[in-house]
Structure 1
C-alpha cells in the first residue's frame, strides 16, 4: 500500500506495479506525534498527514512539491527509519508543452524508483489498460440544494456533514476533488508524455502560475449551484486570497470554513454548515402560511436552546405569545440541563410535556435532546426571533458562553450572512467568567463596576490564558479594578466588532446572549459601532423564542 495526497500524483503507475494507491484522508484528534517531529506552526494538513501515517501504519508515501510544508513533511518522512518508501515528485507550476516534457521526465524517474522498490519491471500494456479503463462515475445524487466545494483539501467527514443536511455536493473543486479531465492512451504514441499532459491539465490548484480556469469553470457551472462552501487550512493563506476575490464577484451564497484537520472542530463545523444550508433553503422557499385554521385554540409549542453555559426554554401559544420561559445552567450533561429547563417552564404553567404540539431544539446541544421533534441551528433561530422582537433589526450580535456570532438579516428577517468565532473562548461569556474569578468580582457586578473607570487600560491579548496573565500583572501594579474590567470589556467589544465587519455593518443592531446583560460590554460595543444597540427584555431566551416560532410555523 502506498499513500498519496495530491491529484497530480501518478497513482496509475503505483497500480501498474500491483500496489494499492490510497489517497490519505487524515482523521486525527491531535498532533501529539507530529509536533515532536515538525514545528508547531507548520501547515496543519502536513501535520495531519504525518499523524495519520503514523497512526494507520502507512509506511510508503508519495508526495508532490506543492508547498514548503509538504517539502518539510517529505524531509521528516525520508529521515525516519519507520518509513520504507518516500518519494517526492517535482511537478512543474506551468501548463504548456515544455511542462509536459518536464513532467514526463519526472514520471520516468518515478517508474525507475518503483522498479527498485518493488523489484518488478514496468509493464507498459498493463499501465495503458489501467489508465484507459476508467470506472464509470456514479451520478451525483441531486437534491433541492446543490453545493460546490472550493479551496484547499476537504475531509471526507466534512463532505458527509454537508450531505447529512440533505444537500448534495455536485461539484468538488478542491485539491482532492472530482473535477478532472479524462484521457485515452495509445501504445503507438508517446503515451508517457500524453499521461504527463493529462495530469498537468486537470483542474488547476493554486500552486499553478496560471490558475484562471478555477474561477472560469466555477462560473460556467453557477447555474447548477445553490451555494459555495470555501475551505481554507489553518496556517495556509494561499486560498484566502482567492476567497476574497470570489466573495464579491459571484452571485450564489458563500460560506468560508477553516479547519485544522482535527476531529475536535466537527461540532462548530456542523453548526456553520447546517446554518448555511438553512439560509439557502430559506431563500429558495416561497413564503407560505402553514397554520391549520381548524386547529385547537390551545396549541402550545416549545423552543429549547441548549447552550454551553445555560439551557433556555420558551413555551408559546398559536398567537405567538410567550406564556412561560426558563433559564437553567446546562451542567455536565446537555440532556439533563434540557430536562430541567423544560420541567421548570412546564411547572410555571402547571402542564405536562404531552400538552406541547411540537418541540424544536437549537444550540450546541440540540442533537442531544431526545424529546425534541426537530432541530434548527442557533443562527436561523436568532434571526427568526430578532425580527419577531424588532423588525428593524439588520445585524444581530450574539455572545454566549463559549461562542460569538454576528448575523446579518434582510428586510424580511431572512439570514443573509453570518460569522462565528473560532475554537477559542476569547471574547465570550466564558472569557468574562474567568476574569471575574481572577478579579474576585461577581460576574453580575462587572458591568456596573466598569462604568466608573478613569484610566483607559488596553488588554492587548485576547487569548483567555494570556489575558489573565495581563490582568494579574495589572493587579500587581495596583491598577483600579474598575479600570481593568473596562479594559476587558473593550477587548470583548473589539473582538466582536471584527465579526460584525466580516458580515458587513448595517444598522439596526440587536445584542443577544447572556453577555448582553453586561452594561459595560454593551456600552463599549455601542462606542465602537457608533450606534445604539437594542437589548431584548430577556436576551438569553432569544434562541429559544426563534425555535418556538419555527415550531409554530411547521404545524
Structure 2
C-alpha cells in the first residue's frame, strides 16, 4: 500500500506495479505525535497527514510539492526510520508543452524509484490499459439538493455531514476532487508525455500560475448546482482570497467552512452545513409547503431549544399564540435539561405531553432529545421566529452560551446568509460568565454596572484566558470595576460586529440569546452599528419559538 495526498499524483503508475494507491484522509483528534516532529504552526493538514500515517501504520508515501508545508512533511518522513518509501514529485506550476516535458522527467524518476522499491519492472501495457479504463467520463446524476465543493481538500466526515443534511455532492473541485478530463493512451505515442499532460490538465489547483479554468468550469456548470461549499484550511490563506472573489462572481448560495482536520467542533460544523442546506431548501420551489392547508384549532405543538447553557421550551397553538414557555439550565446532559424544561412548560398549562401533536428540537443538543419528532438548526429557527416577532427585522444577532451568530434575512423572512464564530468562547455568554466570576460581580448585574463607567478602558485580547489576565492586571491597578466591565462589553461588541459585517449590515436589527439581556453589551453594540437594536420580551426563547413554528408547518 502506498499513500498519497494530491490529485497530481500518478496513481496509475503506482497501480501498474501491483501496489494499492490509497488517498490519505486524516481522521485525527489531535497532533500529539506530529507536533513532536513538526512546528506547531505548520499547516494543520500536513500535521494531520503525519499523525494519520503514524497512527495507521502507513509507511510508504508519494508526495507532491504543493507548498512549503508538504515539502517540510517530506523532509520529516524522509529522515524518519519508520517510513520505508517516501518520494516527492516536483510538479510544474504551468500547463504547457515545456511543463509536460518536465513532468515526464519527474515521472520517469518516479518509475525508476518504484522499480527499485518493489523489485519489479514497469509494465507499459498494464499501465496504458489502466489509464484508458479509469478516465472514461461518467455522467453526473442530479437529484435533490446538488452541492459543489471547492477550495482545499475536505474530510470524509465533513462530506458525510453534507450528505446526512440531505444534499448530494455532484461536483468536487477541491484539491483531491473528482473533476478531471479523460484521455486515451497508445503505445504508438510517447504515452508518458501524454500522461504527463493529462495530469497537468486536471482541474487546476491554486498552486498553478494559470488557474482561470477553476472559475470557467464552475460557471459552465453553475446551473446544475444549488449551492457551493468552500473549504479552507486553518493557517492557509491561499483559498480565502479565491472565496472572497467568488462571492462577487457567482449567484448561487455559498458557505465558507474552515477546519484543522481534527474531529473537534463537529457539532458546530454540522449546524453550519445543515443550516446552509435548509436555506437552499427554503428557496427551492419543490420544497415549499402549501400554506393554504388549515389545521385544527385544538392542535398544540412545542419547540425545544437545547443550548449549551440553557434549554428553552415554547408551547404554541394552531393560531401561533405562545401559551407557555420555560427557560432552565441545560446542566451536564442535554436530554435531562430538555425533559426538565418540557415538564416546567407543561406544568404551567396543567397538561401532559400527550396533548402535543408535534415536538421539534433545535440547538446544539437537538440530536440528543429522543422525544422530539424532528430537528432543525437554530439558524433557520432564529430567522423564522425573528420575522414572526417583528417582520421589519433583517439582521439577527444571537449571542448564546458558547457561540455567536449573525443572520441576515430577505424581505420575506428567509435566511439569506449567516456567520458563526469559530470554536472559541470569545465574545459569548460563557466569556462574560467567566469574567463575572473573576470580578466577583453577578452576571445579571454586569450590564447595569457597566453603564456607570468613567474611564474608557480597552480589553485588547478576546481570548478568554488572556482577557482574564488583562482583567486581573487592571484590578491590580485599582481600576474601577464598572470601567473594566464596560471594556469587556466593548470587546464583545467588536467581536460581534465582525460577524455582522461578514453577512452584510442591514437594518433593522434584533438581538437574541441570553446576552441580549445585558444592557451594557446592547448599548456598546448599538453604538458600533449606529442604530437601535430590537430586543424581544424574552430573547432566550426565540430559537424555541422558531422550532414551534416549524412544528406547526410540518403538520
TM-score of the aligned structures, taking structure 1 as reference length:
0.98
Mapped partners of 2:137, 2:36: distance in 1: 41
Which moves more between the two structures, 396-405 or 14-23?
A: 14-23
Q: Helix, strand or coil: the match of 2:25? A: coil
Structure 2 residues without counterparts, runs of 5 or longer: none
Asked if 1 retains the 8 angstrom alpha-carbon contact of 2:64 and 2:88, the reply is yes
2:529 aligned residue: 529
| Residues matched between the structures, number | 554
SS of 2:103's equivalent in the other structure is helix
Q: How far apart in 1 are the matches of 2:6 and 2:290?
A: 50
The match for 1:500 is 500
Any idea what the Cα deviations from partners look like across 1:289-317, whole Å, max 9, x if unmatched? 44654x43211000000000000000000
Q: 1:312-461 to 2 correspondence within 5 Å?
A: 312-461=312-461
Provide the C-alpha distance between the structure 2 equivalents of 1:137 and 1:324, rounded to a whole number of angstroms.
58
Tell me how far apart the structure 2 counterparts of residues 280 and 346 of structure 1 sit (CA, whole Å). 34
User: What RMSD over aligned residues (CA atoms) do the two structures have, in Å?
Assistant: 1.2
Does residue 84 (structure 1) correspond to residue 78 (structure 2)? The answer is no
Distance in 1 (CA, whole Å) between partners of 2:337 and 2:148 is 38
| Bigger shift: residues 33-42 or 523-532 | 33-42
Tell me if the contact between 1:362 and 1:378 (Cα under 8 Å) persists in the aligned partners. Answer: yes
> 1:447 touches 1:520 (CA, 8 Å); kept in 2?
yes
Contact 1:315/1:325 (8 A) holds in 2: yes
Aligned pairs (5 A) from 1:473-552? 473-552=473-552
Hey, what's the Cα distance between the residues in 1 that align with 2:501 and 2:459?
21
**Mapping of 1:102-113 within 5 angstroms?**
102-113=102-113
Q: 1:119 aligns to what?
A: 119
Deviates more, 1:175-184 or 1:488-497: 175-184
Give the distance between the partners of 1:336 and 1:343, measured in 2 at CA: 11
* Cα distance in structure 1, aligned partners of 2:424 and 2:525: 20
Task: Report the Cα distance in structure 2 between the residues aligned to 1:204 and 1:12, rounded to whole angstroms.
Answer: 19
SS in 2 for 1:551: helix
- Secondary structure of the residue aligned to 2:264 is helix
Q: Is the 8 A contact 1:316 1:323 kept in 2?
A: yes
CA distance in 1, matches of 2:141, 2:472: 57
In 1, Cα distance between equivalents of 2:337 and 2:237: 41
The change in CA–CA distance for 1:306 and 1:291 in structure 2 (over 3 A counts) is farther
Residue 159 (structure 1) aligned with residue 164 (structure 2): no
Q: Distance in 2 between matches of 1:347 and 1:490?
A: 40
Helix, strand or coil for the counterpart of 1:527? helix
1:182-203, CA deviations, whole angstroms, 9 ceiling, x for partnerless residues?
A: 1111111111101101100000
- Distance in structure 2 (CA, Å) of the matches to 1:323 and 1:132: 67
Q: What is the aligned partner in structure 2 of residue 182 from structure 1?
A: 182
How far, CA to CA, are the matches of 1:117 and 1:144 in structure 2? 47
1:28 aligns with 2:31: no
Normalization by structure 2: what TM-score?
0.98
The whole-number CA distance in structure 2 between the counterparts of 1:529 and 1:135 is 54
> What residue in structure 2 maps to residue 250 of structure 1?
250
